[in-house]
A and B are shown apart, each in its own frame.
Chain A
Amino acid sequence: MSTINHSSAPQTKLLWIAVALLGAVAFAIVALNRGEAVNAAWLVIAATCIYFIAYRFYGLFVANQALGVDSTRQTPAARHNDGLDYVPTNRYVLYGHHFAAIAGAGPLVGPVLAAQMGYLPGTLWILAGAVFGGAVQDMTVLFLSTRRDGRSLGDIVRAEMGVVAGTIAGVGILLICVIVLAVLALVVVKALIGSPWGTFAVFCSIPIALLMGVYSRFIRPGRIGEMSLLGCLLLLAALIYGKTVSETPALAAYFDLKGETLALIIIGYGFVASVLPVWLLLAPRDYLSTFLKIGTIALLAIGIIIVRPDLQMPSVTKFIDGSGPVWAGSLFPFLFITIACGAVSGWHSLISSGTTPKMIENETQIAFIGYGAMLMESFVAIMAMIGASIIHPGVYFAMNSASGLIGTTAEQAAQVISAWGFVVTPEDITQVAKDVGETSIMSRTGGAPTLAVGMAQILSSFLGGRTLMGIWYHFAILFEALFILTTVDAGTRVLRFMIQDLIGNAVPAFKETASWTNNIIGSALSCVLWGYFLYVGVVDPLGGIWTLWPLFGTANQMLAAIALTVCTVVLFKMKRERFAWVTVVPATWLVVCTVTAGLEKVFSPNPNVGFISHAIKYGDAIAAGQLLAPAKTLGEMSRIVFNDYIDASLAAVFVLVVVATVVYGLINIWRALGNPRPTAMEIGLAGVAAGGSHA
């Protein structure tokens, strides 16, 4: 757009040179530091400068040169304008919509877990992954979908790569849904175990949502603002009263729950929310969590800028060798799997081919919305990395290591963690728990509690001081739990649809989505699918996250690999193979990472990494009649073996899906090269009057 014409002006050139210099200096301070604590502000400055330069010099290049966006081409919003689904929308408004749709728990949790290797490896991947991978993927899928009437990724794969490739991708999408829901729900369970305050506040969100639902349906229909304000105030009251609940033993007993109980409650909740009419529970909860999410992200950004805390975590720790306690595996490939969202997230390709392409005014806005929103998401991941790195490293490891590794008392934990080289006293660990109003913060794996401690430290140091730290901590837990649960119930519905679609191929009557019987059977099936992995994760003696997060990341990156493969195929079919490297490079990297990670998860001889060798280790012990810690009975032992084989099969399926997609991609590229004419199946022609930016 106009940026290009302006950039030739000497002042603009000087400005860009200044941005580049500032970014380089900030980046050097972050990356080359040895020993002294680095201020988080440098990380923020480096990231921001990189994003601006990346958008201006790479994002716009990919959009204008590689994809060839065409301002004269009609978009679906103009072609099908109905005032409802297809509406030409102001690009800033649409940016907000798109960002709210892609932002979620992923970019907040992944970087926290990755911090076990120090802040630098994760930060580099968040920046490079987003600039060259994630943002390119989001934008290109948005572009493809915009040129195909806003069709979904699955449809695009089917149309451009054939029915078989489409079906394989469909299975991949189904599996990623299952594993995403299970792992996200696991994060909530892990955050709420033995925390009456947090559990009370999160449980309160359900009656509050019901009240909001009734309010916006019958009392003041359609008043979104009033309803959301009411919900926020009630939620705040619940949060404050939660302190009293946690301090009153008679009340606290009701909300002091074990992991198994919480898992069953969440599974049951997912089922109920998916079966009930959406206006009653799902929609109001979604509204509340969306606004809370955007508000909290903004608050965190303001907090980091005002407080400018020092990073306590070393830039690189010794755990890059794969011996870390938070998750299993070495830097390559598992760091690139651990941080999926925030760098590259396959999930975004589903959103970029969802509602956003139906609202784009003009193709020239695709870079701003697709590439730009992903850079913002990447910035959220940087903030999460900051949140995890400003707390005491010893406390970080006490929170994120399973009790099987660090024991159950602060003394044991301090001893073990100090021996790892992160000197910490038992008082350091208990003091944090006291500050945030919990009985213990040890082994609160899953990332959310760690980020909550980081956020509480930042926010309380300019709003409220130490006395409000407990409130801020539980506010952060509530906010994460709230939007994870929204993903869980919305995802259960999507999963139900995909299951009905799949089974409906064999039993046509099952496709009927209006049927109550199908509704209940489909919802139950999808809850059982993700509920199984959730429950397994909760009872997993290694802490669940340690085992399942790499599987979650692999699934997500697998989907990104599929999306970037179809983008590459379409570039070839458009006869734009000269520029195909923009998607070939990230696609290759993701294929290498996911296949390596998947194969290691299946076949690695190290029982900490490979599922099969882990199963063999426990199988041999069973044969010898021995018990291996942390299992306590032979029954638990055989359950571990069984779960290992399930996880191994899942990882193997991920690898097969990626390999099959790549093979179909290569076949289609070969065919496209042999055809002298463009063969991409686009809808609409160039030169038809398109909507302008009449903002």
Chain B
Amino acid sequence: MPDLQELFDQSARAARAARYWSTRTARLMIGVPDYDTYVAHRRAKHPDQPIMTYVEFFRERQQARYALGKGRFRGCC
């Protein structure tokens, strides 16, 4: 049943994509951008400098979201 197989593959691909994008969106909603993008950026642009591990990255982003400063308003009203 090749058709069914293809349909299955397609749905699996769609589900993976949906999961990928919704995870990214959910993470950015709480102020954590994509870690892989960060790593890729550091590798490409600053190959000589250290790269934060995911845990360090997460902590840095968490701190930055609530850092005292301008432009950190959220949750309107």
Q: A residues engaging B (CB < 8 A)?
A: 81-85, 87, 89-90, 92-94, 96-97, 100-107, 150-152, 154-155, 180, 184, 216, 221-222, 224-225, 278-279, 282-283, 286-287, 290-291, 294, 340-341, 345, 347-348, 350-351, 353-355, 359, 483, 486-487, 490-491, 493-494, 496-497, 500, 513, 552, 556
CB distance from B24 to the nearest CB of A (A): 5
Asked whether, in the complex, the Cβ of B32 is within 8 Å of the Cβ of A224, the reply is yes
Chain A, Cβ-Cβ closest to B29: A100
Bound: A496/B68 CA distance, A: 8
Report whether A97 and B25 are in contact in the complex, using a CB–CB cutoff of 8 Å: yes
A103 to B75, alpha carbons, bound, how many Å? 6
The 6 A-B pairs at the shortest CB distance, nearest first, are namely: A106-B77, A83-B38, A222-B58, A96-B25, A487-B75, A83-B41
C-alpha spacing A345/B74, complex, angstroms? 13
| Residues of B in contact with A (beta carbons under 8 Å apart) | 21, 23-34, 37-42, 45, 54-55, 57-66, 68-77
Q: With A493-B66, A496-B68 given, is the CB distance from A224 to B77 under 8 Å? A: no
Closest A residue to B38 using CB positions: A83
Dominant secondary structure at the A interface: helix
User: With contacts A92-B21, A97-B28, A279-B62 known, is A104 near B75, CB below 8 A?
Assistant: yes
Contact B60 A104 (CB under 8 A): no
CB-based contact A351/B76 at 8 Å: yes
Q: List 25 A-B contacts (CB under 8 A).
A: A81-B41, A92-B25, A94-B28, A96-B28, A96-B29, A101-B74, A102-B76, A103-B75, A104-B74, A105-B77, A151-B71, A152-B70, A154-B70, A224-B30, A347-B76, A350-B71, A350-B73, A351-B76, A354-B73, A490-B66, A490-B75, A491-B75, A493-B66, A494-B72, A497-B69
Whether B65 contacts A283 by the Cβ 8 Å rule is yes
**A325-B59 Cα distance, complex, nearest whole Å:** 49
Q: B41: which A residues are within 8 A, CB to CB? A: 81-83, 87
Q: Is the Cβ of B77 less than 8 Å from the Cβ of A490?
A: no
Contacts of A493 in B (CB 8 A): 66, 68
Q: How far is the CB of A350 from chain B (nearest CB, A)?
A: 4
- List the A side residues contacting B75 at CB < 8 Å: 101, 103-105, 483, 486-487, 490-491
Across the interface, which residues of B come within 8 angstroms of A221, CB to CB?
Answer: 55, 58-59
- Say yes or no: A222 contacts B54, CB within 8 Å: yes
- Given A84-B38, A100-B29, A513-B68 in contact, is the A93-B76 Cβ separation under 8 Å? no
* CB proximity of A154 to chain B, nearest CB, Å: 6
Question: What is the CB-to-nearest-CB distance from B20 to chain A, in angstroms, rounded to a whole number?
Answer: 10
- Residues in chain B near residue A359, CB distance under 8 A: 33
9 additional contacts, CB 8 Å, given A154-B70, A222-B59, A487-B77?
A90-B24, A103-B75, A286-B30, A347-B77, A351-B76, A483-B75, A487-B74, A487-B76, A494-B68
- Write the chain A residue with the least CB distance to B27: A224
Select one of A93, A103, A152, A216 contacting B28, CB under 8 A: A93
A47 to B29, CA, bound (A): 26
Q: What separation, in Å, do the CA atoms of A152 and B73 have in the docked complex? A: 10
- Complex Cα distance A19/B39, Å? 45
